[in-house]
Amino acid sequence: MSDVSTTGASPLRPIPASTVVFEHQGHCGIITLNRPAARNAIDGDMADSIERCIDQIESRDDLWIGILAATPPVFCAGADLKATKSGAGKSLFTKRGGFAGITRRERSKPLIAAVDGAALAGGTEIVLACDLVVASRRSSFGLPEARRSLVASGGGLFRLPRKIPFNIAMEMAMTADRIDADRAHQFGFVNRLCSDGQAVSTAIALAERICANAPIAVRESRKIVLDASLAEDEVAWQLSKEGLGRAIATSDYMEGLNAFIEKRSPIWNAR
């Protein structure tokens, strides 16, 4: 039996029998980690399931954006260390996605992390693999691997200092201490800070703002931000030119112009 349950647009309720739930609301695909008794710690089946959910978002024309959430009270405690110690079950890494099927996954569509609780170790690395972050005030982030004689290997040690001040990231890596959502928001790591229990609804509202724009133009803009931010200017100029060329080659380009002239909301078709 698959560990992924797929449901329709509403309601947004996890299915208890599944460790990963996939739902869709409008143009948004919602992935929910649903193993709360184990603090949503990642095992091999969950890693495979998360990868399959991302496959759906990437392959479906009607889905323009994804949200990655979890059943509270913990977002994700990282790797299932009991499974790791025993050596039982599947690997926590997938061939395309790396840890949890996501940390090394190449994607074209935006993904928002909706964090409502602690995201620690691999949980923080999952959040760092997303494009935007919504977090409730009870949330926290940290890389406590050193306390277990481990090293964070899911991207946290190089992605975190790209998101928050370098010395704060260094302190977190060496002390294994966490930061709360308020402080993460002050550093710009968290895009939207919300009340407890409101992470998913806040992420959906943010996703709807993004989906008001032309989907392919959003994807091209995301790609340029990722690829060009650390590149030399000449490379960045070329990437920007190429991205613009792909955007204006779509039918949505003319729809955007016509909607502006006709003073109406555009109707995008993602082509």
Catalogue the active-site residues: 125, 145
Cα(90)–Cα(94) distance, integer angstroms: 9
The closest of 255, 257, 258 to 269, measured between CA atoms, is: 255
User: Residue 219's CB: how many other CB atoms inside 10 A?
Assistant: 20
Cα(152)–Cα(242) distance, integer angstroms: 35
User: Residue 162's CB: how many other CB atoms inside 10 A?
Assistant: 12
String of DSSP letters for the chain: --SEEE--SS-----TT-SEEEEEETTEEEEEE--GGGTT-B-HHHHHHHHHHHHHHHH-TT--EEEEEE-TTEEE--B-HHHHHHT-SS-SEETTTEETTTTT---SS-EEEEE-SEEETHHHHHHHTSSEEEEETT-EEE-GGGGGT----SSHHHHHHHHS-HHHHHHHHHH--EEEHHHHHHTTS-SEEE-TT-HHHHHHHHHHHHHTS-HHHHHHHHHHHHHHTTS-HHHHHHHHHHHHHHHHTSHHHHHHHHHHHTTS-------
